[in-house]
């Protein structure tokens, strides 16, 4: 019986990973951005006639709405379960891409990629992790969260070459159409495997109810209780900085790589995805062993050092090998954030309202992406490179590292299991 339940848990975990593999097309925006930029330069009646400073707007807006949709989707997931919430996400993603496939209008790309795709990611992403965490004991929280969200980071490994192939053969519009149809089918199909454990289920290896296990100070907080805690705002600020600094580089890596790698620039995007996914799993396992705060401190400091390295590596004609290594390590640190914060949210605030609580925290990711990505692009247009952006990001990351000392360190083993109602599957 226990073995069967464990198998169900792994099916749910891998299904969530699969959904995130589809939704992770967000990280290949730099490839679409490059194609749109080329179209603007080329001109002509069918060309994209966008202002160059606005070229990242659909990506930045999708990040913002992704984050804020997590609040709505998280509440919905807590009420009706992950299956139908993820299906809604699949339909929204497909609709957004299909709209983009029919036009080169800035306004309609804002609607399709920025609004509908962004919201679709929020509904799909919010449904992938919670059911998986409920099948496993607290000591595996970081590892399971890392595996599920690793799908989002790994996506560019196959989407980057696929998108490059489709763009070269069919153009931007048809590429968006094929991708939209394919991802809708995948997300809606896998959503049927997202099932919560039955009422009263206790994961194997978890402490028995009532045992002498030190419980977390705050368990199963409601959103209103969550917003009254100092820890929420500290974590939100750190998340804002870490995610924004990572997205600033991820959204432009193909453009940076194109200087030295030409048409093979998608390789930098794909290799970065390995670091992105690896960071999620490694940080998850490490945080289960040495604690969330210590792991988060190391991630912030490492990412700050990488921003300084980026100033020298991207100046002039970048060395292809160094650029790929830089992208890989930045992806690693960025990915670590995406694992550490949901794990922290479960440890501190429980599983009962995990969907909406993590949705509130995840708004930091969207605001960070919108603000720092936009600022970086504006600074680049004004100065011609990202040097000032990298220095600013470094300073912010050092500040984030200092903020970690105001957090309580939580290890998964010190948190008693929080049994959440199963809801609808």
Nearest Cα to Cα of residue 179 among 298, 93, 52: 93
The answer to whether 293 and 404 are in contact (CB under 8 A) is yes
As given in the structure block, the two tokens for residue 193 are 């495997």
What integer pLDDT is reported at residue 238 of this predicted model? 95
Nearest to 216 by CA among 351, 120, 394, 125: 351
DSSP notation for 292-328: HHHHHHHHHHHHHHHHHHHHHHSSSS--HHHHHHHHH
* CA of residue 195 relative to chain centroid, distance: 22
Task: Give 31-55 pLDDT, tens digit per residue.
Answer: 788 888 888 888 777 778 888 778 8
Task: Please state the length of the chain.
Answer: 425
- pTM for this entry: 0.74
Helix (H) or strand (E) holding 189: helix 141-191
Give dist(CA 332, CA 274) in Å, integer: 8
Position 108 scores a pLDDT of 93
- pLDDT band with cut points at 50, 70 and 90 for residue 317: low
Q: Which fold has domain 2-44+51-201+215-413?
A: Growth Hormone; Chain: A; (1.20.1250)
pLDDT at 413 over 60: no
Q: What's the pLDDT band for 397 if we cut at 50, 70, 90?
A: very high
Which residues, 6 or more positions from 199, have their beta carbon under 8 angstroms from its beta carbon?
421, 422
pLDDT tens per residue, range 15-25: 999 999 888 87
Token pair belonging to 79 = 């009420």
């Amino acid at each position: 019986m226990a073995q069967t339940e464990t198998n169900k848990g792994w099916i749910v975990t891998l299904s969530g990973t699969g959904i995130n593999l589809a939704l992770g097309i967000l990280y290949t925006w730099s490839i679409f951005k490059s194609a749109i930029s080329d179209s603007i330069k080329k001109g002509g009646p069918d060309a994209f006639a966008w202002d160059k400073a606005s070229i990242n707007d659909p990506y930045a807006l999708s990040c913002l709405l992704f984050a804020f949709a997590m609040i709505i989707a998280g509440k919905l997931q807590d009420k009706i379960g992950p299956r139908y919430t993820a299906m809604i996400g699949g339909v929204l993603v497909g609709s957004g891409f299909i709209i983009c496939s029919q036009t080169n209008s800035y306004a309609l790309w804002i609607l399709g990629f920025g609004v509908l795709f962004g919201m679709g990611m929020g509904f799909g992403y919010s449904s992938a992790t919670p059911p998986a965490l409920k099948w496993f004991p607290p000591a595996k929280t970081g590892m399971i969260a890392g595996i599920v969200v690793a799908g989002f980071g790994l996506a560019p490994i196959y989407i980057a070459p696929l998108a490059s192939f489709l763009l070269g053969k069919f153009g931007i519009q048809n590429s968006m159409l094929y991708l939209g149809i394919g991802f809708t089918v995948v997300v809606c199909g896998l959503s049927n495997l997202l099932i919560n454990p039955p009422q009263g289920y206790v994961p194997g290896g978890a402490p028995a109810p009532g045992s002498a296990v030190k419980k977390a100070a705050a368990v199963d907080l409601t959103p209103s209780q969550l917003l009254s805690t100092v820890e929420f705002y500290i974590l939100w600020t750190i998340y804002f900085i870490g995610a924004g600094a990572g997205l600033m580089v991820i959204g432009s890596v193909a453009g940076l790589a194109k200087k030295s790698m030409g048409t093979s620039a998608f390789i930098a995007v794909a290799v970065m995805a390995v670091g992105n996914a690896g960071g999620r799993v490694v940080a998850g396992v490490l945080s289960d062993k040495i604690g969330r705060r210590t792991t988060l401190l190391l991630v912030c400091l490492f990412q700050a050092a990488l921003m300084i390295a980026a100033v020298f590596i991207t100046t002039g004609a970048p060395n292809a090998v160094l650029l790929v290594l830089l992208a890989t390590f930045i992806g690693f640190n960025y990915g670590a954030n995406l694992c550490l914060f949901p794990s922290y949210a479960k440890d501190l605030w429980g599983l009962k309202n995990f969907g909406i609580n993590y949705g509130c925290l995840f708004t930091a990711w969207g605001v960070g992406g919108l603000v720092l990505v936009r600022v970086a692009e504006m600074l680049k247009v004004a100065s011609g490179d990202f040097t000032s952006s990298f220095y600013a990001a470094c300073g912010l990351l050092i500040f984030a590292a200092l903020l970690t000392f105001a957090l309580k360190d939580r290890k998964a083993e010190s948190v008693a299991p929080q049994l959440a109602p199963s809801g609808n599957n």
